[in-house]
Chain A
Amino acid sequence: MRVFVPISVGGWVRLFSRWDILAVLLILGLLVFLGEASRHLFEPLADLQRTPPSLDPANLPEYAARTTLRMFIAMALSLLFTFTYATLAAKNKQAERILVPLLDILQSVPILGFISVTVVFFMALAPGRVLGAEFAAIFAIFTSQAWNMAFSFYQSLRTVPTELVEASRCFRLSPWMSFWRVDVPFAMPQLIWNMMMSMSGSWFFVVASEAISVGNTTVTLPGVGSYIALAIEQQNLKAVGWAIGTMLVVILIYDQILFRPLVAWADRFRFEQEPGIVAPRSWVLDILRRSRIVDRVTRPFAVLWRRLLLPRHPDNVEAVRRAPRTRPGWIAFQLGLIVFALTAFALWQALRFFTEGIALADVGTAMLLGLATLIRVVVLIALATVVWVPIGVWVGTRPFAAVVVQPIAQFLAAFPANVLFPIVVSGIVAWQLDPNIWLSPLMILGTQWYILFNVIAGASAIPAELRAVGASFRVRGWLWWRRIALPAVLPYYVTGAITASGGSWNASIVAEVASWGNKHLEAKGLGAYIAQQTDAGDFHRIVLGIAVMSLYVVVINRVFWRPLYHYAERKFRLG
């Protein structure tokens, strides 16, 4: 028997579902956070000095908010950079020839070097205001995020399947439209993965970028980074603990609220349509998708977005019939001339710069110190390999272990190892150990995890059939490692080791010089050299140190890692 209901009950129930309430709370929280964090931007610098950061844990939520906001602004800038720079490199042959090597070099410049060199410039942009220092900090974080994102996007754009490109041309999508409907979606999964890596990587530099001090200029921006710096200065281990806890919480929050939904959402952009892969899920995305209010609020934006994608000339029938644009030779010539002029100018500037303040002996010193750092990096990577490859293979070949360990390894890679430095340094001071040896492990503390989780990924990708063959022929012990496990994980290992090695060079600037209160420890090396010159405000030697380090990184990449990578990919990549 039917019950008569005077109003539409169904409609009432659906008006506010529990998803709606959750979604509104989420969004409100985000808005409050943004407002709170950006309130102080336009205050004069003097205010900042009047209220120095304090170690009161009650301040930590605000500090965390401001640090996170900086990171997200830098992330937005990195995306902008990625979409423009990488697109230009991928679409324009002439530009590609310069932009790609340039990016390669930029990638190898130690990130902390950027801070030392650019801080004065940014402070001058908004003199006397907090904004200037914020610019400098954000730029530093940007430099730690942008390069790999741009590289990934460039690679993706170059590998868009030919048929898709032909289809979009055949249906005459405008360049603007095909960029957003074809190129960006295709690149999305890789790009999001790189955004996550960038976000993790940039935590490392937050500490360095918030407490900026070059020569006499010292600015301390409120944030988790400067909180840690202060805690180190005051030898307050408890405060360091609070900061670590805060970071853990922040990382957990944005992972759940931002990256998991993004990864789950981007799953549809995966091009390979292989079966058997479990689609990633996210509860936040579920809430947003199920909420009707969110749907209603976002719909106008979606319509607006689609309008933007429409071709500029609805009547493009004639527009496409014009002859294809050919670039006359003289334009190419002019471009070449401009590039040549710029290069000559840069060379002249560099020469003048160096001859003014640097003797040949300085170069020699920097090169020798570079060698010391190189030895450290090599030894540490070798040690990490010996430790983590067997463990990674062991974990990777046992699905139950991989499920547990893999997320932990990824989290550890995201965790800024430099907040642990104080603990290690206080240990070295207490036991009176030789800093030349014992400071070194700090360089790889944060980057070794890349080796571990890549090897785990490689080992779990060994096809069950191959493992079965090994088992049926009773291939065991060393033979099993030599013939099955190691070759199978080599391509993955190389990827991880390249990241770890690059990260270690970067970390050397903070790892070779460490302090705990008034005790300063120093190891001999190029990182320490750059750090010292930064303290002294000697720009010539800062630049020299950075240049030498970039040189080392580029040369090692070209003569060692790149050939090894290609060899491993060609010979051992399965499938």
Chain B
Amino acid sequence: MNAPLLDIHGLRHTFPKADGGDLLVLDGIELEVTQGQIVGLLGRTGSGKSTLLRLIAGLAQPSDGSVTYLGQPVLGPAPGIAMVFQGFALFPWLTVLENVQLGLEALGLPEPEIRKRALAAIDLIGLDGYESAYPRELSGGMRQRVGFARALVVHPNILLMDEPFSALDVLTAETLRTDFLELWGDGKLPIKGVILVTHNIEEAVLMCDRILLFSNNPGRIIREIGVDLRQPRNRLDPQFRELVEKIYVAMTARTPNAPTGRQITINTVLPRVSANLFSGLIETLAAEPYRGKADLPVLADELHLEADELFPVAEAMQMFHFAEVEGGDIKLTDTGKQFAELGTDDRKKLFQKQLLAFIPLATHIRRVLQERANHVAPKSRFLDELEDHMSTEDAEHTLRAVTAWGRYAEAFAYDDDTGMFSLENPS
């Protein structure tokens, strides 16, 4: 049997948009998973990696291209592919044992075998004694163990994991990762391959044999990085750090699509970053020990931010020309340094200047308001414009982001009760 476990070829996926058009979320995906591998899909929120996982699981069909599992096309949820969910997805009305048994019952196995296999899986994953507990009685870590047991009990060839540790606290997540890797390393798991979706760079380096980096809007595989460190891996190992750094560099590299200050337009999806976070990060960067320049992985570690949380701030700072991001480093511009030294009112003025100079959507809203006789315009006017170019959700987020910035900069006001933008602030 030489066929790879999973083969994805020329995959493209679109979502329908409000105006009837299609929004491209995944493009040109090629992926082959062979036996014995843990493959990581790493990317920012909205890079389509979770969507790809659902296409593999057969929960949806790709718009174009093929997903082949053991030589056969995946046209619906296939036996031999099981999934672990971010939010656990346990049935609160079933006990631990019943939750684990559910997948076996669906297979129509005889009752004694269902029981035997379920108890074995519960035993393997360290849930003995919790068989008759309901999920609400368990801690997050224990709940996700049930999620793992439920997926493993059907003896899948491929285990799909959708950010399985992101809803857990740091220590619990680490314990679960270690336990999983140990079982996997000892060959105790009845699975042949794993696909892990994550936005946590260190988690990817810790667990995966191969890491695929995804770009945003649309999701494309921009880079593949092999990890041949031996398990168990040590986060402090210089080689480990080097890989993390390498991934940061790759993810902050300027690709033609990356929204940098010079290229953003009215229709660029804006990250929702609060002005407070802006100020905080600029101050941190300006002060010791960074003095205007920091290594992103170090900064993330120091501030206890995940890459997924840090990137949007960095991206927004770049849009405002407060900082430059390149090669895994973030560097304050002169404007950024100036911002750090100003008081509250002057900061607002500078923020307004940058906002109106570099965020075309803000400029556009302000111009529309100025042109209108009564200086008001409904939110829907701008939302409709945005929805022609992005998903409804993105449009909503983008408008919220620009509204928050506009309010902070006192560039325009917005009244949520009436849904109206205006130039007037309440006096």
Tell me the B77-136 residues at the A interface (CB within 8 Å): 77-79, 81-83, 85-89, 91-94, 102-103, 105-109, 134-136
Check if B314 is an interface residue, CB within 8 A of chain A. Answer: no
Contact check, B108 vs A271: say whether CB atoms are below 8 A apart. Answer: no
Check if A167 is an interface residue, CB within 8 A of chain B. Answer: yes
Q: Mark B191-209, 1 if CB is under 8 A from A, else 0.
A: 0000000000000000000
Q: How far is the CB of A537 from chain B (nearest CB, A)?
A: 51
Question: Among the listed A163, A171, A269, which residue makes an inter-chain contact with B106, where contact means beta carbons less than 8 Å apart?
Answer: A171
Tell me the A131-165 residues at the B interface (CB within 8 Å): 161, 163-164
Contact check, A269 vs B93: say whether CB atoms are below 8 A apart. Answer: yes
Check if A564 is an interface residue, CB within 8 A of chain B. Answer: no
Check if B75 is an interface residue, CB within 8 A of chain A. Answer: yes
Main secondary structure of the interface of B (DSSP, over half): loop
Contact check, A172 vs B59: say whether CB atoms are below 8 A apart. Answer: no
Contact check, A170 vs B76: say whether CB atoms are below 8 A apart. Answer: no
Contact check, B76 vs A181: say whether CB atoms are below 8 A apart. Answer: no
Q: How far is the CB of B219 from chain A (nearest CB, A)?
A: 19
Contact check, B102 vs A181: say whether CB atoms are below 8 A apart. Answer: yes
Contact check, A177 vs B106: say whether CB atoms are below 8 A apart. Answer: yes
Contact check, A171 vs B82: say whether CB atoms are below 8 A apart. Answer: yes
Q: A171-B106, A322-B76 are in contact. Are A166 and B93 (CB under 8 A)?
A: no
Contact check, A170 vs B77: say whether CB atoms are below 8 A apart. Answer: yes
Q: A309-B105, A310-B105, A314-B108 are in contact. Are A320 and B91 (CB under 8 A)?
A: no
Residue in B closest to A318 when the chains form the complex, CB atoms: B79
Check if B14 is an interface residue, CB within 8 A of chain A. Answer: no
Question: Among the listed B72, B89, B136, which residue makes an inter-chain contact with A167, where contact means beta carbons less than 8 Å apart?
Answer: B89
Contact check, B105 vs A163: say whether CB atoms are below 8 A apart. Answer: no
Contact check, A169 vs B91: say whether CB atoms are below 8 A apart. Answer: no
Check if B33 is an interface residue, CB within 8 A of chain A. Answer: no
- B105 surroundings in chain A (CB, below 8 A): 177, 306, 309-310
- B282 surroundings in chain A (CB, below 8 A): none
Contact check, B92 vs A270: say whether CB atoms are below 8 A apart. Answer: yes
Question: Among the listed B72, B76, B86, B106, which residue makes an inter-chain contact with A173, where contact means beta carbons less than 8 Å apart?
Answer: B106
Question: Among the listed B85, B108, B134, which residue makes an inter-chain contact with A268, where contact means beta carbons less than 8 Å apart?
Answer: B134
- B87 surroundings in chain A (CB, below 8 A): 161, 163
CA distance A273 to B136 in the complex (A): 6
Contact check, A322 vs B75: say whether CB atoms are below 8 A apart. Answer: yes
Contact check, B91 vs A182: say whether CB atoms are below 8 A apart. Answer: yes
Q: How far is the CB of A182 from chain B (nearest CB, A)?
A: 7
Contact check, A166 vs B83: say whether CB atoms are below 8 A apart. Answer: yes
CA distance A322 to B75 in the complex (A): 7
Question: Among the listed A306, A317, A322, which residue makes an inter-chain contact with B79, where contact means beta carbons less than 8 Å apart?
Answer: A317
Contact check, A163 vs B136: say whether CB atoms are below 8 A apart. Answer: no
CA distance A322 to B77 in the complex (A): 10
CA distance A164 to B257 in the complex (A): 35
Question: Among the listed A161, A170, A571, which residue makes an inter-chain contact with B83, where contact means beta carbons less than 8 Å apart?
Answer: A170
CA distance A310 to B111 in the complex (A): 11
Contact check, B92 vs A324: say whether CB atoms are below 8 A apart. Answer: no
Interface residue tally for chain A (C-beta within 8 Å): 38
Q: How far is the CB of A515 from chain B (nearest CB, A)?
A: 50
Question: Among the listed B76, B77, B92, B106, which residue makes an inter-chain contact with A311, where contact means beta carbons less than 8 Å apart?
Answer: B106
- B108 surroundings in chain A (CB, below 8 A): 310-311, 313-316
CA distance A172 to B61 in the complex (A): 16
Residue in B closest to A309 when the chains form the complex, CB atoms: B105
Residue in B closest to A167 when the chains form the complex, CB atoms: B89
Q: A172-B106, A185-B93, A311-B106 are in contact. Are A324 and B76 (CB under 8 A)?
A: yes
Check if A323 is an interface residue, CB within 8 A of chain B. Answer: yes
Contact check, B102 vs A173: say whether CB atoms are below 8 A apart. Answer: yes
Residue in A closest to B104 when the chains form the complex, CB atoms: A171
Q: How far is the CB of A198 from chain B (nearest CB, A)?
A: 23
Check if B272 is an interface residue, CB within 8 A of chain A. Answer: no
Check if A321 is an interface residue, CB within 8 A of chain B. Answer: yes
Q: How far is the CB of B84 from chain A (nearest CB, A)?
A: 10
- B81 surroundings in chain A (CB, below 8 A): 170
Check if B54 is an interface residue, CB within 8 A of chain A. Answer: yes
Tell me the B357-412 residues at the A interface (CB within 8 Å): none
Check if B154 is an interface residue, CB within 8 A of chain A. Answer: yes
- A309 surroundings in chain B (CB, below 8 A): 105
- B88 surroundings in chain A (CB, below 8 A): 163
- B76 surroundings in chain A (CB, below 8 A): 320-322, 324
- A271 surroundings in chain B (CB, below 8 A): 92
Question: Among the listed A169, A188, A268, A322, which residue makes an inter-chain contact with B59, where contact means beta carbons less than 8 Å apart?
Answer: A169
CA distance A62 to B88 in the complex (A): 53
Residue in B closest to A268 when the chains form the complex, CB atoms: B93
Q: How far is the CB of A264 from chain B (nearest CB, A)?
A: 14
- B154 surroundings in chain A (CB, below 8 A): 171
CA distance A360 to B99 in the complex (A): 63
- B54 surroundings in chain A (CB, below 8 A): 166
Question: Among the listed A170, A185, A306, which residue makes an inter-chain contact with B91, where contact means beta carbons less than 8 Å apart?
Answer: A185
Check if B57 is an interface residue, CB within 8 A of chain A. Answer: yes
- B85 surroundings in chain A (CB, below 8 A): 163, 166-167
Contact check, A172 vs B91: say whether CB atoms are below 8 A apart. Answer: no
- B89 surroundings in chain A (CB, below 8 A): 161, 163-164, 166-167
CA distance A309 to B108 in the complex (A): 10
Tell me the A363-398 residues at the B interface (CB within 8 Å): none
Check if A256 is an interface residue, CB within 8 A of chain B. Answer: no
Contact check, B77 vs A172: say whether CB atoms are below 8 A apart. Answer: yes
Q: How far is the CB of A299 from chain B (nearest CB, A)?
A: 13
- A169 surroundings in chain B (CB, below 8 A): 59, 77
Contact check, B77 vs A273: say whether CB atoms are below 8 A apart. Answer: no
Q: How far is the CB of B65 from chain A (nearest CB, A)?
A: 16
CA distance A182 to B87 in the complex (A): 16
- B93 surroundings in chain A (CB, below 8 A): 185-186, 188, 268-269
Check if A174 is an interface residue, CB within 8 A of chain B. Answer: yes
CA distance A405 to B135 in the complex (A): 34
CA distance A321 to B69 in the complex (A): 11
CA distance A334 to B310 in the complex (A): 54
Q: How far is the CB of A324 from chain B (nearest CB, A)?
A: 6
Q: How far is the CB of A241 from chain B (nearest CB, A)?
A: 44
- A268 surroundings in chain B (CB, below 8 A): 92-93, 134
Top 3 A-B residue pairs of the complex, sorted by shortest distance between their CB atoms: A314-B108, A171-B103, A163-B89
**A residues whose Cβ falls under 8 Å from a Cβ of B:** 161, 163-164, 166-174, 177, 181-182, 185-186, 188, 268-271, 273, 306, 309-311, 313-317, 320-324, 571
15 contacts between A and B (CB under 8 A): A163-B88, A166-B89, A167-B83, A168-B102, A169-B59, A170-B77, A172-B79, A172-B107, A181-B91, A271-B92, A273-B136, A306-B105, A320-B77, A320-B78, A324-B75
**B residues whose Cβ falls under 8 Å from a Cβ of A:** 54, 57, 59, 61, 72, 75-79, 81-83, 85-89, 91-94, 102-103, 105-109, 134-136, 150, 154, 417
Apart from A314-B109, A322-B76, what are 11 other A-B pairs with CB-CB below 8 Å?
Answer: A164-B91, A171-B154, A172-B103, A174-B106, A185-B93, A186-B93, A270-B92, A311-B108, A314-B108, A320-B77, A320-B79
